[in-house]
Chain A
Amino acid sequence: MAHKRQIDRLPIPPKGAKVHNVTCHYCIVGCGYKAYTWDRNKQGTATDNALGIDLSEQQGADGTWLKPSNYNIVKQDGKDVHLAIYADQDCVVNSGLASVRGARMAENRPSEVTGTQQQRLTDPLVWKYGTWVPTSWDDAQDLVAQVTARAIKEGSEDDLVVSMFDHGGSAGGYENTWGTGKLYFQSMNIKHCRIHNRPAYNSEVHSSRDMGVDELNYGYKDYQVTDTIVMWGANPLECQTNVFLNHMKPGMQNGAKFILVDPRRTVTLNAAEDIAGTENTLHLAINEGTDMALANAIMTIIVDNGWTDDAYVANNTFQDGIAVEQDAAHPAALGSLDEAMKSIRMSAEQAAEICGVSADDIRKAASWIAEPMGGARAKCIIGYEKGVIWGNDNYRTVGSLVNIGLATGNIGQEGGGVCRMGGHQEGYFRPPEPFVGRPPTYIDQLLINGGGKVHHIWACDHYKTTLNITEFKKAYKKRADMVKDAIDAAAGGSREDMINAIVDAVNAGGLFVVDVDVIHTKIGQNAHVILPAVEANEMNLTSMNGERRLRLSEKYMDGPGVAMPDCLIAAGMAQNMERVLRAMGDDAYADKFMGYDWETEEDAFMDGYNSGNPEVTYDRLRAMGNNGVQEPVVGHENGQLIGTERLYADGKFTRHGRDDMKALFCASGWRGWQAEGKADEQAAHRFWVNNGRANIFWQNLFLDQANDFVMDRYPYPFVEMNPDDMADLGVGAGDLVELYNGNGATQAMAYPTPTAKRNQVFMVFAHPNGAQGNIINPGVNELVLPDYKHCWADIRKISDAPASVKGISMKSKEYTA
C-alpha cells in the first residue's frame, strides 16, 4: 500500500520570517527556491503571513503551496527553527516548478525534531577497538596527517590515491573543489586521483573541448526559439526535469520539432509526443553503441545537400587540413571540415544497417536538423548526456555531434548549441594538474593491483558508482582489512606504535582509507577514518547550472553535529600536514601546506574562485538572487554582475586554447565497439543491460535511501523488462531477479514494460540494494572514460516479489491523456 504521510496541516511562515536564496542542490538545472525560516514558537496565520497571500482560500493550479516534503524543523545557530521551502516563481530557470527531487530538499535535511536523515554523520569516526568510534577533529585529523605524511615521505606522493568529486551543487561547489584542489594539486602534485563517477581524472567531453567548444555553450532560453530539439542519449524529463518542462516544452509549443536518439522509449518521448504531436516527433531507436554511425550519416547528408552554413564554417573553423594529429592523447585527428569528412563519410543506408533504423528516418532527422527554411539557417540544439558520455567511443562520438553543430553554424547562435545536459551542477575551480597526464592513470586498476598506500575519498562511493565493482570490492576490502587488523592488533600501545603498525600494514600491501562524506557510505565500510561533511545550505555554496548560471545558495541551517564544509576539512588536513611535516624536520615540504587560514567557506571562495574572477564576491552574488549571472562574468555595472548569455557569439572558439580561435572538426570515423571486451560480452549473453537514472532518485540514493516516500516506491532497483521476456524466464511483476555475467552479479525487481525491446532491459544504476556496476566489465576508452552503458548479462529469477514490493504499482510509467 502506498506510503501515506498522515500530515493534514502545516505551519504557516509568519511575517518577518527570514528568506534565503536557494539553488536546488540536486541536478544540473539548479532551480531557484526560497527558503523561509522562523522561530519554532511562532507562526503566521492564513491571512497574515510572510507569503502575503490569503491561505484561507484554496490556491489554484500552479499556485503557491507548501508541500509536506519541503517542510522540516532544523537547527539554525543552535536553535530549532521551522524550515519551509517554496519553488521560486521569479527564477527564470524553473518559474516556480519543483521536481520530485528538489521538492524534497527540506525533508532530506537532518532534523533531531522530526527524525529525518538521522543517517547523517555528526562526528569524525576512527576505527579503533575493533569498531568505528566517534572522536574529535583533532584526533582524527592528526591520524590522517601522520599516516599520510609517513607514506609520502617514505615513498612518494604517488602513494597517495585520491578520489574526489569535481561537481557543483550537493556538497561540491567552487568552495569545495578549490579546497581539495589546492591541497592535492598545489600543496601536493597528486597524480593518482580520480573523479566521483569515473575511474580516472579526465574530462567527460575531451573532444568537444579539444575542438574549441565548451560543453555548456547555450542558454536554456534558446530552447524556446529553436526549430529542432535533438536529445541524444539524454532523458531530460527525468534527469533535467525543469529544463524540459520550463524550456523545451514552450519551445515545442512554439513549433520546435523533437528528435530523440535513444535505444529505449522513455517518458521524455511520450511527453514530447503529447506536446509536439507525433508528426513532429521522431524517435531513432538505434542499436546500442551505434550513435556515431548515425551522426556521421546525418553529417554526410548535410554536407552533400549543401545544408552547411558556409560563411560560418569559413570564418570560424580551421581551414587547412589536420590541426591535431591522432595520438595517444587524441583518439581522433582534428582539423578542417574537408579533412574530417574523409573519415566521417557514411551513407544513410550504411548507417541504417549498423544502427537498425530506416534510412528514411535518418534523412528525415538530417532534414529537421539542418535543412534551411526560407533561406535561413535551421536552428537546432543537440543535447547529449550519459547515453553518449558513458557510451561507445566517447571521444569520437561526442566529436561527431559537435561536428553537426559547427557545420550548420549552430554553436554560439540564437536557438543553437551542442551541449551536454549534465548531471550535477558544475563548480570546478582548481589549480592545473598537468602531472595527472593524458591518458591518466586507471585508478581502479591501480588499487586492484596493489598500488597506492593511502586513499583519501571525498564524497565518492565506488561500491555503487564505478564499473567492475565486484572485482574492485574484493581487492579493496582485502587491502583495507589488513590495516583494520593492524589497528586492532596495536590496541593498547602508544600513538607512535599505532602509526607504525598502520605504516607497516600499508607497506605490506594494505590500504589506509580516509573517507570524507555526509553519510557512512558503502565504501565507508572499509574506511579507517571517516570525516563528516556538510551539504549546500548547511554552508554557503556557489555553483553554476547547465547554462553556466552562477548563484550563491545561502546557508540557512547548521550542519549536523560538528560536520564541516569540505573546503574547511581540506584546510584542516593541510594544517595538520604542515604541523606533522615540521615535526618530521621537513620545513621545505611543510611550507607548501601554508595558506589555509580560512575561517569560513567564503574565505575559501575568495582564495580560489575570486582570484580568477575578481568581479565575483558573495555580496554581489547575493544581490543577483536566484537568477544569478551566466558565466563567464565580464564586468560589474550599476550593482549588477554582467554575464554571458551564450558562448562564442563572436565566433571565437577558445576552449582548446589555440591562438587562432578557430573551431576544429573531429575526424570521427566509425570503428565499431571501441572498449575492450564489449564485442565478446555482447555475443555471450542474452540481454543488453542498459542502465541509467530515474527521476525519483538523486544519484546513488545516498539521501533517498533514508526517504520513506522513495523507498516505498522502489525498495529495490527496478529492471524494466519486456513482458514476453519475463514470461520466458518465468518472472512475474516485482519478482526479484539476478543479472549475472562473467564480471559478477547483481539483483533487481522486474518491472514489466511493454515498450521495452525484447532482450533489452533497463536497470536503474546505483541503488543501494543492487548496484548495476557489479556486472560492468573493466573496459574503458583510450582516455580511461568508462563505457558503463554497454553491459550484457543473463537473467534468472531469485524469488517471488518480497513483501515490501507486493503493494507497489507495476503499471506503465507513460502518461495517457
Chain B
Amino acid sequence: MSKRCERLVDAGRRQFLRGGAVAAAGAAVVTVAPGEAQAAPASAQLDYPSNKLSNVADLAVNEPVDIEYPDADSPGVLLKLGTAVEGGVGPDGDIVAYSVLCPHQGWFLNYNGDDKTFNCPGHYSRYDAEAGGQQIWGHATQNLPQFTLRVADNGDIFAEGCSDLIFGRPSNVL
C-alpha cells in the first residue's frame, strides 16, 4: 500500500497502530445499528458506559493497545507511557487513553513510539501522548479526546468518560 494513497476506507483498523508506514485512512465502517431511542427523560449530562479495557498487569511500556470506547465505532488506544504524566492513572501514574480519530477530519492516527506522538497521514497533524493529547502542530481545533480512566483494586482499567467530542458524531454516546 502506497503511503500516498488516500481515502482508503476500512483499511485494517487492527494494524493501524503498529503499521507505522501504513496510512490507514478512513473510519470504521458502521455495522452496528444505533441503539433504540430512549423514552426516559434526558439527563443533564451524558451517561458514559463503564467499559473494561485491560488490566494494569497486561500493559507493557510504550506498547499501545487498541481499544473501542464508548462503542465499537470509536477506536482508541490505551497506552502505558513509562513516565508519570498529568492525568495518568495506574500505580505509576503513566496510563492514558485517547481517541485515535483525528479531530481534524477523522483520519486514523499512527502512533510513533520513538517520540510518543500520534501522527495523522491525512494532513500532517501531530498530538503529544505525554501532554494530554495536545496538538503539537496541525489543523484540528481541539486536542485529542482523552478517555477518563479508573483503575480498580485488582488492576482492571475502565474507561468511563471522555474529555472532548469525538470526531464524526454529534454526541460521544450515540
Contacts of B23 in A (CB 8 A): 817
A10 to B128, CA, bound (A): 26
**Interface residue A319 (Cβ < 8 Å from any Cβ of B):** no
Interface presence of B90 (CB below 8 A): no
Does residue A4 face the partner (Cβ distance < 8 Å to B)? yes
Knowing A271-B124, A695-B137 are in contact, say whether A4-B4 is a contact too (CB < 8 A).
Answer: no
State whether B21 touches A817 (Cβ < 8 A). yes
Interface segment, one of A58-66, A642-650, A740-748: A58-66
Task: Say if the beta carbon of A673 comes within 8 Å of chain B.
Answer: no
Contacts of B83-141 to chain A: CB distance below 8 A: 86-87, 101, 103-108, 110, 112, 114-115, 117, 119-126, 128, 130-141
A445 to chain B, nearest CB (A): 38
- Report chain B residues within 8 Å CB of A320: none
Q: Is A68 an interface residue (CB 8 A)?
A: yes
Distance from A63 Cβ to chain B, minimum over Cβ atoms (Å): 6
Q: Does B41 contact A (CB under 8 A)?
A: no
What's the least CB distance linking A52 to chain B, in Å? Answer: 14
Question: Judging by beta carbons under 8 Å apart, are B7 and A61 in contact?
Answer: yes
Whether A60 contacts B171 in the complex (CB less than 8 A), given A8-B162, A275-B4, A713-B134, comes out as no
Q: How far, in Å, is A375 (CB) from chain B's closest CB? A: 29
Check if A58 sits within 8 Å of B27, measured CB to CB: yes
B139 touches A65 (CB 8 A): no
Contact B142 A817 (CB under 8 A): no
Chain A residues whose CB sits within 8 angstroms of the CB of B29 once the complex forms: 60
Q: B40: CB under 8 A from chain A?
A: no
Residues from chain B with a CB closer than 8 A to the CB of A438 are none
**Cα–Cα distance between A476 and B173 once the two chains are bound (Å):** 56
Given contacts A9-B171, A66-B170, contact A811 B115 (CB under 8 A): yes
Assess whether B61 is interfacial by the CB under 8 Å rule.
no
Query: Knowing A6-B163, A713-B134, A809-B128 touch, does A58 contact B119 (C-beta < 8 A)?
Result: no
* CB-CB nearest in chain B for A238: B137
CA distance A85 to B59 in the complex (A): 41
Residue interface bits A373-384, CB-to-B below 8 A is 1, else 0? 000000000000
Chain B, range 67-81, C-beta contacts under 8 Å to A: 73-74
For chain A, what secondary structure do more than half of its interface residues adopt (helix, strand, loop), or is it mixed? loop
B103 touches A67 (CB 8 A): yes
From known contacts A67-B142, A267-B124, A813-B136, infer whether A57 and B30 are also in contact, taking CB-CB under 8 Å.
Answer: yes
Say whether B174 faces chain A, with CB atoms less than 8 Å apart.
yes
Cα of A712 to Cα of B141 in the assembled complex, Å: 12
Specify which chain A residues have a CB less than 8 angstroms from the CB of B138 in the assembled complex. 100
Residues of chain B with a CB closer than 8 A to A59's CB: 27, 106, 167-169
B-contacting residues, A256-271, CB 8 Å: 267, 270-271
- A303-326: CB near B (< 8 Å → 1, else 0) gives 000000000000000000000000
From the candidates B21, B74, B117, name the one contacting A811 in the complex (CB within 8 A).
B117
Q: Which residues of B contact A65 (CB under 8 A)?
A: 105-106, 167-169
Which residues does chain B contribute within 8 Å of A63, judged by CB atoms? 27, 106, 168
B164 engages A62 (CB within 8 Å): no
Decide: A815 near B119, CB < 8 A? Known: A5-B165, A63-B168: yes
Contact with A along B150-174 (1 / 0, CB 8 A): 0000000000001111011111111
Rounded to whole Å, the gap between the CB of B97 and the closest CB of chain A is 14
Q: Mark A806-817, 1 if CB is under 8 A from B, else 0.
A: 011101111111
Q: A1-B131, A2-B134, A811-B115 are in contact. Are A270 and B141 (CB under 8 A)?
A: no
Q: Is the CB of B86 within 8 A of A1?
A: yes
Write out the residue numbers on chain A whose beta carbons fall within 8 Å of the beta carbon of B128. Answer: 2, 809, 811
Which A residues touch B45, using CB under 8 A?
8
Q: Which of A60, A61, A267 has a CB less than 8 Å from the CB of B122?
A: A61
Interface positions of B from 18 to 77, Cβ below 8 Å from A: 20-21, 23, 25-30, 34, 45-46, 73-74
A4 x B143 contact (CB < 8 A): yes
Which residues does chain A contribute within 8 Å of B46, judged by CB atoms?
8-9
**List of A residues within 8 angstroms of B107 by Cβ:** 61-62
Q: Does A4 lie within 8 Å of B124, measured CB to CB?
A: no
Q: Are the C-beta atoms of B174 and A56 separated by less than 8 Å? A: yes
Chain A residue nearest to B164 in the complex (CB) = A5
A278 to chain B, nearest CB (A): 13
Shortest CB-to-CB span from A260 to chain B, Å, is: 15
* A812 to B45 CA separation, bound complex (whole angstroms): 37
How long is the Cα–Cα vector from A296 to B72 in the complex, in angstroms? 59
Give the chain A neighbours of B121 by CB distance below 8 A. Answer: 817
A763 within 8 A of B: no
A571-588: CB near B (< 8 Å → 1, else 0) gives: 000000000000000000
Instruction: Give chain A interface residues in 703-750, CB to chain B under 8 Å.
Output: 709, 712-713
Q: A5-B163, A817-B110 are in contact. List 15 more A-B contacts (CB 8 A).
A: A1-B86, A1-B87, A5-B142, A8-B45, A9-B165, A57-B174, A58-B28, A61-B107, A61-B108, A62-B7, A62-B122, A695-B137, A815-B124, A816-B114, A817-B23
**Ranked 3 nearest A-B pairs via Cβ:** A2-B132, A2-B134, A9-B171
